[in-house]
């Protein structure tokens, strides 16, 4: 009786020690968030929807994004990673249940008996064994929690890939629109330069202009022609990059992409900064990875404690080969084992230290991601606001540049001004037109960036 009591007391003490050793700290909370954004949003803005790209009003863009979601290799890779994480959860969960194994054996022997003759001695048997590791300290359940948290992180990573893909397709499509608009402007500017050259050449033949004027305007024409090939190259390269996002061969891909002016620039509501924690899949993934690391710390601590395993076996044996109906012999065995690490050179303790360090690393990683997300939104809000103001001003610049060129051409024909005035007016208008197209593209890029920074209408599931 005293012996049993001592054993029970020792077991209780071990349980208490294990409870202290495996209790992990809860994952760190998110840092304090600002009350409001530094950049004010548009007053009539709307919160991002799940299909936010449709707010640009481009049916072709919507079709390209739908195609990319179904054929992009990165999306397929993300789906497979989710499946792998689901399998890891099942693997970890299997440790919570007993393992059953069925074995069978058969032996044929020839025994030499008295008189020198040989006599067969056949035996056969079947065994059912069961083993179960008692999850006394929660090591296996901690591994399950880690796998489940890793699965959530992988699913959130899939959402991040989806958001990045959609933003990449939208950005590439808008860049194609912008480059084609700039190409159209470059051809239009070339036509203007050639028209002025014809005037200068006519005046030179009549003695009203010098050869220097002809050379200067010819240089302006050549400069406009030289500006076209780089834009054509950028347009082709952007199309190729867009084709890769759609999972298509670049050689057979093209987009209609007719005009950038027809695309609507949406107004986007940023909401409150604290809501960002529930709307960004990358932040949710970092939080889930932190939870997985916390569970790994608990599992590493539990490995320091004794392990208890239960085993059982039941079997049948017969002297007749593969015939258990001929008076078989039955056997049942039940056992328990206790193992306690005594000396391992500090391996288990080092694993605890490594897991704890990994958790602290992910705490800082989570904090860094949040700070970066706040900066992403502020930058996108600033770009959207300043871009709208810049577009209005650039439009006014373009109107005045066009007016100045018309007046300069008239005055040059009448002999009131020299060619330098016309050349300067040409350069101003060419730059104003090209700059206006780039500002329009920058506004669209800012909208895409703001949608992406806000999580693209995604919401963390409960």
pLDDT on residue 33: 87
Q: Range(s) for CATH 1.20.1600.10 in the chain?
A: 21-96+136-304+349-453
Q: Across the 462 residues of the chain, what is the mean pLDDT of every consecutive 10-residue run?
A: 39 43 55 84 81 93 94 95 94 86 77 68 78 81 92 96 96 94 92 91 89 92 95 95 93 81 88 92 94 89 82 69 56 78 83 89 91 94 91 94 93 86 90 92 94 94 84
Count of residues in the chain:
462
Q: Please tell me the predicted confidence (pLDDT) of residue 351.
A: 86
pLDDT at 458: 94
CA torsion angle 223 228 229 235 (round to 10): 150
Here the tokens at position 172 are 């590439």
pLDDT confidence of residue 260: 77
Q: Can you give the pLDDT at residue 2?
A: 34
* Amino acid 207: pLDDT: 87
Give the model's pLDDT for residue 12: 40
How high is the pLDDT of residue 8? 41
Q: What is the pLDDT of residue 121?
A: 67
Topology at the third CATH level for domain 21-96+136-304+349-453: Outer membrane efflux proteins (OEP) (1.20.1600)
Residue 19 pLDDT:
42
What architecture is the 99-134+306-339 domain classified under in CATH?
A: Single Sheet (2.20)
Residue 4: its pLDDT value, please? 45
- Give the model's pLDDT for residue 346: 86
The alpha carbon of 273 is separated from its chain's Cα centroid by a whole number of angstroms, namely 21
Residues of the chain with CATH 2.20.200: 99-134+306-339
pLDDT at 1: 39
């Amino acid at each position: 009786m005293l012996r049993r009591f001592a054993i029970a007391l020792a077991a209780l003490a071990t349980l208490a020690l294990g409870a202290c050793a495996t209790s992990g700290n809860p994952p760190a909370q998110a840092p304090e968030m600002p009350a409001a954004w530094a950049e004010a949003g548009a007053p009539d803005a709307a919160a991002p929807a799940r299909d936010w790209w449709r707010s640009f009003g481009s049916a072709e863009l919507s079709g390209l994004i739908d195609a990319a979601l179904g054929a992009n290799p990165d999306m397929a890779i993300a789906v497979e990673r989710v499946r792998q994480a689901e399998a890891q959860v099942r693997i970890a969960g299997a440790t919570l249940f007993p393992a059953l194994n069925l074995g069978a054996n058969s032996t044929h022997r020839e025994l030499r008996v008295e008189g020198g003759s040989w006599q067969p001695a056949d035996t056969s048997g079947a065994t059912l064994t069961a083993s179960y590791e008692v999850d006394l300290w929660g090591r296996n359940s901690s591994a399950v929690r880690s796998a489940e948290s890793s699965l959530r992180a992988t699913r959130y990573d899939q959402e991040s890939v989806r958001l990045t893909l959609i933003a990449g397709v939208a950005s590439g499509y808008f860049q194609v629109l912008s480059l084609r608009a700039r190409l159209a402007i470059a051809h239009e500017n070339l036509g203007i330069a050639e028209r002025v050259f014809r005037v200068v050449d006519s005046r030179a033949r009549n003695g009203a202009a010098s050869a220097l004027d002809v050379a200067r305007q010819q240089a302006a024409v050549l400069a406009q022609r030289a500006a076209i090939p780089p834009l054509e190259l950028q347009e082709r390269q952007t199309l190729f990059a867009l084709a890769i996002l759609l999972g298509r061969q670049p050689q057979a891909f093209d987009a209609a992409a007719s005009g950038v002016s027809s695309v609507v620039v949406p107004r986007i509501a940023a909401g409150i900064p604290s809501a960002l924690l529930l709307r960004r899949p990358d932040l949710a993934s970092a939080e889930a990875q932190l939870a997985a690391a916390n569970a790994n710390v608990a599992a590493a601590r539990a490995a320091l404690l004794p392990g208890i395993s239960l085993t059982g076996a039941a079997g049948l044996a017969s002297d007749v080969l593969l015939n258990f109906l001929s008076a078989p012999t039955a056997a049942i065995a039940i056992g328990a084992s206790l193992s306690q690490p005594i000396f391992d050179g500090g391996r288990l303790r080092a694993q605890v230290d490594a897991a704890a360090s990994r958790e602290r690393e992910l705490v800082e990683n989570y904090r860094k991601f949040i700070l970066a997300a706040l900066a992403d939104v502020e930058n996108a809000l600033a770009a959207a606001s300043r871009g709208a103001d810049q577009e209005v001003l650039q439009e006014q610049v373009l109107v005045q540049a066009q007016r100045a060129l018309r007046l300069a051409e008239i005055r040059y024909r009448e002999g009131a001004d020299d060619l330098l005035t016309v050349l300067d007016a040409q350069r101003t208008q060419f730059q104003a037109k090209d700059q206006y197209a780039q500002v329009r593209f920058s506004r669209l890029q800012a909208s895409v960036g703001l949608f992406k920074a806000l999580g693209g209408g995604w919401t963390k599931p409960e």
